[in-house]
Amino acid sequence: MTPGAQAQLGPVELSSEWGQAGWSNPAMLHPSGSQIWLGGLAGAQVAVTHSGPALLDFSTLGGAVNPELLIANMNPTEAVDVRSEVPLFGLALRDKNRFELRLRSRFVADQQFTYDRDLIELAWRGNGHPDVIGRPITLAGMGTNVQGYFDHGLSVGAMAKEDKLWLGWGIHILNGVGAFHTESFDATWTTDSVDYSWTLEGAADFQAAGVDLDSALSGGTLDLPGSDGGLPKILGAGVAFDFGLVYKPNEQFTVEAAMEGRGSIRWLKSTSRAKVDPAVFVLQGLDVVNWLGDADMDLSSDSLESMLETWGEEMLDSLEGAFEVQTGPEVVEAFNTPVQETWRVGFRYLPRPSMEFHVMGYRQFRFDQSRDGVVIGFVHRLRGNVATQVQAQLVEGRWSWGAGLSLRGGPLRMAFSAQNIPGMLFPLESGHWQGQFGIGLELGYRQDKKKSKRKNPLGTGKGMWH
């Protein structure tokens, strides 16, 4: 996990041995010949991110919690994100160092929940606290966004100038199977410092595909896409684009830039909507003085309970009347949701062919949030069979430390990576706990090498690994 919507820039995306770099930057060519990937473990990835403070930032191992430290370490809006990618099929055809064609199908599930610091402050301090009373408590950052879709991609990388410049582009055909989108959510709660009345102002607009919001709000059955055990129906369609370049002025230095995943999904079928128009509700409270001064009032416990129950019912009726939820065909319309988009630029320096240093700056967009970051990494390659990578990633003033390992034996390659190893080993001490995991199996690896006469005809030299 890492802050907010931190970009997934680890070994899988940055180094060609991990098999996915050509999709992160289509101008990058894989070091092998043709490859084929089958099944869910061929580059599967999962990332769970949280932008809030670490548990030990506001508590101890003994269980003591200091909510004031929690509030002090929070941003105005925080987010919890979950993203998983399951590859279904992948194919790449390469012509030496000149050209590479890639095909890929995968399923992507993306979720994001955002919440406001003011909500935590209100829950801890209460609305009568001197720092809270009379001040509008903003809950406008609250929201939930979820979408699942199939991504069928075509990507091409080609040499544009002999051994100097490579360009690449990609297109993704997106088939959406379900979504829930917070189009807008505005809410403000103010406690008057004189008469202690509550004023609630707000509006909201939620849209969904594959989920009947009208039925869910009325207490009906909530059927999710694919819950019947069959294949999920295609409810939306979209397109996304990639572009990349790699410029190599000499053998030691490379400059690159890329844009990945610029596009969106248009949800057209099985859509529903729940909308609340802007409104204001004022709660004056119960006039206990007048109630106690009523000579005819029965002060028994039954009378008090009945009075409070009546007052509560009237308050809820007034609240529902002020913020009426509109659903039904008259408010339903198609809607769009963006897919994850990443921009990056950086350079690589190779003091020798087996060693590489790289620095990448990036910005990534997820739903309605963006994050900037910098990655500094080192890669060591051993005879084409083994590649290791370590990296440091800085996002919003926090560092994460990742590593990767790629192994090749014969025609098979396995690759593993993690973006924040300390965060997974010591999650309570980490301000962000991101983990990224991927395995790739390659078939058809071919390493080009110069032919030379065998000096040892008995074959007792280096062995089968070459």
Give tens-digit pLDDT for 374-406: 999 999 998 778 889 898 888 767 778 888 888
Q: How far apart, in whole angstroms, are the C-alpha atoms of residue 123 and residue 189?
A: 13
Which of the two residues, 57 and 84, has the higher pLDDT score? 84
- Cα distances (Å, whole numbers) of residue 403 to 342, 362, 390, 416, 421: 21, 19, 4, 9, 7
Residue among 444, 431, 434, 432 nearest 58 (CA): 431
Q: How far apart, in whole angstroms, are the C-alpha atoms of residue 406 and residue 421?
A: 17
Which of the two residues, 428 and 60, has the higher pLDDT score? 60
Specify the DSSP class assigned to residue 270. Answer: S
Could you give the percent of the chain with pLDDT greater than 70? 78
Give tens-digit pLDDT for 261-286: 999 999 999 999 999 999 998 887 66
Residue 134 has pLDDT above 80, yes or no: yes
Residue pointed to by tokens 């859509």: 271
Average pLDDT over residues 59-86: 85
Q: How far apart, in whole angstroms, are the C-alpha atoms of residue 85 and residue 104?
A: 12
Residue 178 has pLDDT above 90, yes or no: yes
Which of the two residues, 393 and 33, has the higher pLDDT score? 393
Cβ–Cβ under 8 Å, residues 366 and 5? yes
Average pLDDT over residues 204-218: 86
Q: How far apart, in whole angstroms, are the C-alpha atoms of residue 456 and residue 135?
A: 85
Residue pointed to by tokens 């370590």: 390
Average pLDDT, the chain: 81
Residue among 11, 6, 3, 2 nearest 356 (CA): 11
Q: What pLDDT is stored for residue 460 in this prediction?
A: 35
Cβ–Cβ under 8 Å, residues 172 and 151? yes
The model's confidence at residue 438, banded by pLDDT at 50, 70 and 90, is low
The model's confidence at residue 4, banded by pLDDT at 50, 70 and 90, is very low
Residue 456 has pLDDT above 90, yes or no: no
Look up the pTM and report it: 0.82
Cβ–Cβ under 8 Å, residues 406 and 383? no
DSSP three-state, residue 339? coil
Beta strand ranges found along 61-164 (DSSP E): 77-95, 99-116, 137-138, 143-161
Q: Which two tokens stand for residue 71?
A: 């509030």
